[in-house]
Structure 1
Amino acid sequence: MRDVSTPALVTAARTGGLADTVHDLADRVPALAQLARRDPADPGRWHHVSAAAFRAEVLALAKGLLADGLRPGDRVAVMSRTRYEWTLFSYAVWSLGAQLVPVYPTASTEQLRALLAATEADTIVIEHEQHAMTVAAACGADRRLRRVWQLDQDCVGLLSGLGGHLPDAEVHRLRRAVTPRDTAAVVQTSGTTGRPRGCVITHGNLAAECDTLLAGWGRLTGPPGTQPSVLAFLPLAHSYGLMVQVACLRGGILLGHEPELTPQALLPALASFRPTFLFGVPYVFEKIYDTARRAAEEAGRLRMFDVATATALRYARAVERREQGHGHGPGPALRARHAVYERLVYGRVRGVLGGRVRNAVSGGSPLRADLGRIFAGAGLTVYDGYGLSETSGAITACPPGRVRFGTVGRPLPGCAVRIAQDGEVWVRGDVVFAGYVDEHGTSPHDGWLATGDLGHLDEDGYLVITGRKKDIIITSGGKSVAPLGLEERVRAHPLVSQCLVVGDNRPYVAALITLDPEALAHWRRYRGGLEDARPGDPPEEGVRAAVQRAVAVANASVSRAESIRAFRILPGEFSVADGLVTPSLKLRRAAIERAYATEIEALYAG
């Protein structure tokens, strides 16, 4: 086994809970713009909410919840997209010493029923009538909720009025009784390899996570002298999204919300909000790049864009070699070309994000190394990180100024990573959760959490994730294949949306592939395809040939026994709605293999 650890940057909190942040900040800088709300009449305008005003709203809502019967230790489920009220309810619930149970807004009846039973939450906040129908179906005669509060029926206003007669001191008394060891939230795992499990995340876990990130990476969130700003668009029901919310409030970072993760909604929101820092997942950075490339082709500038991309890639590689002591960095000719494309291309790409973002974080799954280099060469450094629901967010990240593409960085300060003999990644630190809601303890490994992920540490202690233990494919010939790398290389092609490699107990490796609808429509417009083709129509020969080339490029990186020998292009994408993708955009392998069993069998027929 090999261990690597990083000295702590912050001292673990000994007293208090997460809600203290709201009240302390309002006392110190009451006029500070703490949150931003989109103007309902003009989505391009944002109105700031001061620290003092937000505290007043939190207090009013907390008093309403108290008047409604909520007590310390009670669990409140929140089933909503990422929006202002989600953050408001978080801090009102925490102010009373109660606990959050985040629910993905796409949760099915069965998923919601299981979550409510496991957590024993008896109050739920929902967004709209469709959620109300899901709740009604999930709660039969054997289980009843004490209260259902609905956001689009102004439950915030109703609750705030309900508690108007209570003194603020009642809330403060309960808030001051909260300790770092108390549970802040019961967060679901993504359930990529089995049923989701409820992770007990304490106030101390989230405080350690966010304070460490702010101490070590805070200077990257915005230029000196400017208040940093972040647009939250990841699901707040996920530990990553929850961490972003808490970090912004603890760090005095202006926080906005965008409920939709589609490019059509997200890109205009980024352009109008103009954040200084971006928290995303690989899907977001892939979409930003693909959208920019399609826009360049539509403007007749594809060749220039591709040359600029190649220049950015060469520039970033030269900088990377210099930082690792293997070269002198970009030469004069490369620097000159890079300066030209900074004016013509790179600045425009950053302009899609509002023009102020120069640093970002990617999490959820590893970012493709060359995509990270392209963004770095274009003036946007993406710090890749790694974490689990069980680690309250990240537990590794590339250190400031020392990005190593293709890795997920080193342990966060105060944390440690160990590689077990079978290649499994184990982790330890104050950010590791208190246990599963229906079990006791975190790990049988003397304080180490076995993550289920496979990886290795390079010579400088940077972690490289190679896949999940449960995802390893063993062909009928006995060859072990880690599908993650192959899938990422296939997905690097602009036409490809998703790729699932199969082959367990089969004679060879094969793949199910889906296409990006927007990229496909664009390809048909500019490559002479079937422009009148409808969704679900079989791909024409040119499309299949393009995907075949993507598969061939992926195969070039592995042995023949590990290569994809057959593939099927499916008529539609895997989605959250059909239960084949998690809300954090990871593929549910077992569910996909069940749903497409016939197509998989056809890959091996004859």
Structure 2
Amino acid sequence: MRDLALAPQAASPLTGGLADSLFETAAESPDLPMLARRADPASASWEEVTALEFRDQVVDLAKGLVASGLSPGGRVAIMARTRYEWTVLCYALWTVGAEVVPIYPTSSREQVEWILRDSGCVAVVVEDEQGVMTVGSVCAALPRLRHVWQLDSGALDQLVARGEYIPPATVDSLRRIVLPDSTAVIAYTSGTSGQARGCALSHRNLAAPCDTLLEGWARTAAEPGEQAVVLAFLPFSHVYGLMIQGLCVRGGLLMGHEPDLDSEALSSALRTLRPTYLYAVPSLLEKIYKNFLRTAQQAGRGTLFERAADTARDFAAATERQRLGRGPGPGFDLRLQHALYERTVYRRLRAALGGRVRRATSGGSTLSRDLSLFYEGIGIYVHDGYGLTETGGGVTMQPLGREKSGTVGQALPGNEIRVADDGEILVRGPSVFQGYAGDEAATLTALAGGWLATGDIGRLDPEGYLTITGRKKDIIITSSGKSVAPAALEQRLRTHPLVHQAVVVGDDRPCVGALITLDPDFLTHWRGALSLPGDAPTREAREENALREEIARAVTAANSSVSRSESIRVFRVLPEPFDVTNGLLTPSMKLRRDEIVRRYALEIDAMYHSRSRPEREPLPEEPSLWDDSDNVFR
């Protein structure tokens, strides 16, 4: 082994189950607002739910679950978007010692059947009629399934009514026998390559990262004397979403829910709830940046925005050098310029996120250094952390006052991180899962020697900061034997406003290539700004050439970060994005690389074939392109 980062002691260990913190808060601070909800998604008004009200709703629902025959250890799937009922139901299940099995509501019929059968669920909670139909179509293969409850048809109210005769003492006695090492969640992996596996996570596994983060970083979630407010919109079907829920409930943060992830709904929720801390994923932060840029260009202020963005990045980079003891910090001219843009640009950008966000956390995949510096420069430092389903959430975080953009920080207290000789990241700590449910062989392989083999590759610097460079199974080996990690190239490509998604290919090929999809919103804006003269056929041809040249510049910019042998030499723009409905993304929005390569095998072959034909001399520093007859937009 090489490289070891050992963190100091963690927070106090858990003594009971996850539901205990809610009951303790309700007893000590009954009037503390814990949840916020809207009767109408279009409403600007949020109704606050106190700790006492939240606890009583959990107890009433828990009584209904007991009356329905649910016993400790019983598994119940929740197949719904991020909404208020998800949290109440989750804590009611944990109160009676049941195990939660999250399922993405966008999951296919086959995925739903596999998870329900593999986990042995006795009940499933769905959101709407579509969910009922999906589960109903596979019920014949699920002999253990006894209940299907539909949220939108009043299932929770019906459960509460069913449990009216159950004494509260019964619920309390069930809660008190839940132990820290009792299983709380069976969370299924994304299944990017093969069948999804259920990760058994105990109450201790889920509580450990939450308590450590709250102990060390809670004061950054709001201004002094102000209650922290969080908008939960990431899926609770993912362990990152569950960690956000746990942080809010265990830390007394006010949490609102937004189930709809389209730009308009999310923007409305941010402006009206006005969170003090933002939890997000890189793709959302990239989208927000592109929306800022597009809005500025449409208002005729694109150049101003780009200058302000460059200043933000320069200011943040200088500030970082200062806090790491590597430089004097921003000079007078840079501070003056930054102050000017603060008054004219940055505060307006923050207002679009509600106006109170000062810090954020990004997870799910790595955030580019440039984007991290941009957000820090406009006044929102983004902590890029690292974790996976098997670790119950985050295992790293940026140390306060020593943050280093481009890394995922250092190991959380109580955790250890190693990097093996082949670059694979190994993790040990209190949040590492119990194992794969029903798969002892896979568990033994993943936890060899007590260390979790994450499948991710990366490096630790001398100060213990971890940098993620990709997934071990995603490494591309060209026909010349060159190994290429695609993640960094894909990340750089996505920074271009026109690029929506990118998949780097090249296994057993003479060079690295890329499949690219375009951002539909920015593409529409870009086309409108071209204003090309001539008749329709001429304009279309010139527009296509201009678009090809713009994407070529994006590829050239991405190549600047790697050696020539690792650079993208051919690429193809695809006519439609990768998404869940066409089977090219997992429900957690991860690329199904093997399926993408299989689906677009003909396009990949044609891309490399066009490169092998005699071509015009390429422009300096630009990747080789296809010939003119290869119209990639048909």
TM-score bracket, shorter-length normalisation: over 0.9
Which of 597, 600, 604 is the equivalent residue of 1:596?
600
Q: Give secondary structure in 2 for the equivalent of 1:309.
A: helix
Q: How far, CA to CA, are the matches of 1:544 and 1:136 in structure 2?
A: 47
- How many angstroms does 1:601 deviate by? 1.6
Q: Distance in 2 between matches of 1:450 and 1:60?
A: 42
Q: CA deviation at 1:529?
A: 6.5
In the alignment, what sits opposite 1:502? 505
Instruction: Report the 3-state secondary structure (helix = DSSP H, G, I; strand = E; otherwise coil) of the residue aligned with 2:12.
Output: coil
Distance 2:432 2:105 in 1: 26
Is the 8 Å Cα contact of residues 205 and 432 (structure 1) preserved in structure 2?
Answer: yes
Cα shift at 1:351: 0.6
Aligned counterpart in structure 1 of residue 553 of structure 2, from 549, 553, 576: 549
In structure 1, what is the Cα distance between the partners aligned to 2:607 and 2:182?
52
For the Cα contact (< 8 Å) 1:523–1:529, is it kept in 2?
Answer: no
Identity score, percent: 53
- Correspondence for 1:26: 26
- Does residue 1:586 correspond to 2:586, yes or no? no
CA distance in 2 between counterparts of 1:206 and 1:317 reads: 34
- Give the Cα separation in 1 of the matches to 2:267 and 2:95: 34
d(CA) in 1 for partners of 2:247, 2:58 = 17
Which of 548, 560, 564 is the matching residue for 2:568?
Answer: 564
In the aligned structure 1, how far is the partner of 2:3 from the partner of 2:309?
Answer: 38
Within-5 A mapping of 1:169-568: 169-440=169-440, 441=443, 443-528=446-531, 540-568=544-572
AA of the residue aligned to 1:43 = S
Q: Mind listing any 5+ residue stretches in structure 2 that lack a counterpart?
A: 613-634
Q: How does the TM-score come out when normalised to structure 2?
A: 0.93
CA distance in 2, matches of 1:386, 1:581: 21
Q: Does the CA contact (< 8 Å) of 1:529 and 1:540 recur in 2?
A: no
2-side partners of 1:74 and 1:317: how far apart?
51
Residue 45 of structure 1 aligns to a residue whose secondary structure is: coil
Which residue identity is paired with 2:475?
A: I
- Farther off after superposition, 451-460 or 2-11: 2-11
Tell me the CA shift for residue 580 of structure 1.
1.2
Mapped contact 2:117–2:142 kept (Cα < 8 A): no
Q: Which residue is equivalent to 2:53?
A: 53
Once the two structures are TM-superposed, the CA of residue 120 in structure 1 deviates from its matched residue by 0.4
- In structure 2, what is the Cα distance between the partners aligned to 1:361 and 1:41? 25
Query: After the TM superposition, which residues 62-73 of structure 1 pair with which residues of structure 2 at under 5 Å, given as runs?
Result: 62-73=62-73
Would the aligned equivalents of 1:205 and 1:392 in 2 still touch at CA under 8 Å?
A: yes
**Kept after mapping to 2: 8 A contact 1:407/1:465:** yes
Q: Distance in 2 between matches of 1:583 and 1:273?
A: 27
CA contact (8 A) 2:214 2:251 kept: yes
Deviates more, 1:214-223 or 1:557-566: 557-566
Partner deviation per Cα, 1:63-112 (whole Å, 9 max, x = no partner)? 00110111100000000000000001100000100000000111111101
* Cα drift, residue 565 of structure 1: 1.2
Q: Distance in 2 between matches of 1:38 and 1:142?
A: 36
Deviation digits for residues 236-282 of structure 1 (CA, Å, limit 9, x no counterpart): 01000001001100000000111122222211111111000011100
Q: 1:227 to 1:142 in 2, by over 3 A?
A: closer
- 3-state secondary structure, aligned to 1:140: helix
Contact in 1 for aligned 2:116/2:142 (Cα 8 Å): no
TM-score by length of 1: 0.97
CA separation of 1:316 and 1:561: change in aligned 2, threshold 3 A? same
- Paired with 1:318 and 1:133, the residues of 2 have a C-alpha distance of 56
Which stretch of structure 1 is more off in the superposition, 147-156 or 395-404? Answer: 395-404
Q: How far is the alpha carbon of 1:584 from its aligned partner?
A: 2.6
1:9 and 2:10 matched: yes
Question: Which letter maps to 2:201?
Answer: I
Could you say which residue in structure 2 is the equivalent of 1:37? 37
**Matching residue's letter, 1:225:** G
What aligned pairs does 1:74-93 form with structure 2 within 5 A after superposition? 74-93=74-93
Q: CA RMSD in A?
A: 1.7
CA distance in 1, matches of 2:235, 2:309: 31
The question of whether the paired residues in 2 share the 8 Å contact of 1:529 and 1:542 is answered with: no
> Cα offset for 1:41?
7.0
Deviations 1:515-566 (A, max 9, x none): 0100101111123369x99xxx997221111111000111122222211111
8 Å contact from structure 1 (residues 263, 287) kept in 2 = no
The Cα shift of 1:139 comes to 2.3
**Deviations 1:459-495 (Å, cap 9, x if unpaired)?**
2110011111100101111111111111111111000
1:235, 1:583 within 8 Å by CA — same for their partners in 2?
no
1:116 match? 116
Distance in 2 between residues matched to 1:161 and 1:263, nearest whole Å: 38
Output the CA distance in 1 between the equivalents of 2:373 and 2:561: 19
Q: Any idea what the Cα deviations from partners look like across 1:409-455, whole Å, max 9, x if unmatched?
A: 10011001000011100001001111011223463432110000110
In the TM superposition, what whole-angstrom CA distance separates every residue of 1:220-251 from its partner, at most 9, and x where no partner exists? Answer: 11111011010001110100000100110000
Aligned-pair distance for 1:42? 4.3
3-state SS of 1:61 partner = helix
Amino acid at match of 1:502: V
1:405–1:142 Cα change, 3 Å:
closer
Matches within 5 A, 1:149-164: 149-164=149-164
CA contact (8 A) 2:323 2:401 kept: no
CA distance in 2, matches of 1:131, 1:296: 41
Instruction: Note the alpha carbon deviations across 1:572-606, whole angstroms, 9 max, x for none.
Output: 11012222112332211112112212211211224
Asked if the contact 1:233–1:257 (Cα under 8 Å) also holds between the matched residues in 2, the reply is yes
Residues 383-430 of structure 1: CA distance to partner in whole angstroms, max 9, x if unpaired?
000100000011111112222111111001100100001110000100
Q: Is 2:23–2:55's contact at 8 Å kept on the other side of the alignment?
A: yes
Q: Using the alignment, how far apart are the partners of 1:413 and 1:577 within structure 2?
A: 40
Equivalent residue, structure 1, for 2:615: none
Contact 2:120–2:144 (CA under 8 A) maintained in structure 1: no
Aligned 8 A contact 2:324 2:402 in 1: no
CA distance 1:555–1:41, change in 2 (3 Å) = closer
Return the alpha-carbon distance in structure 2 between the equivalents of residues 510 and 308 of structure 1. 33
1:303 Cα shift?
A: 1.3
SS of structure 1 residue aligned to 2:318: helix
Mapped to 1, the partners of 2:39 and 2:333 lie a distance apart of 48
Q: Which runs of 5+ in 1 are unaligned?
A: none
User: How many residues are aligned here?
Assistant: 602
- Supply the AA of the counterpart residue of 1:504: D
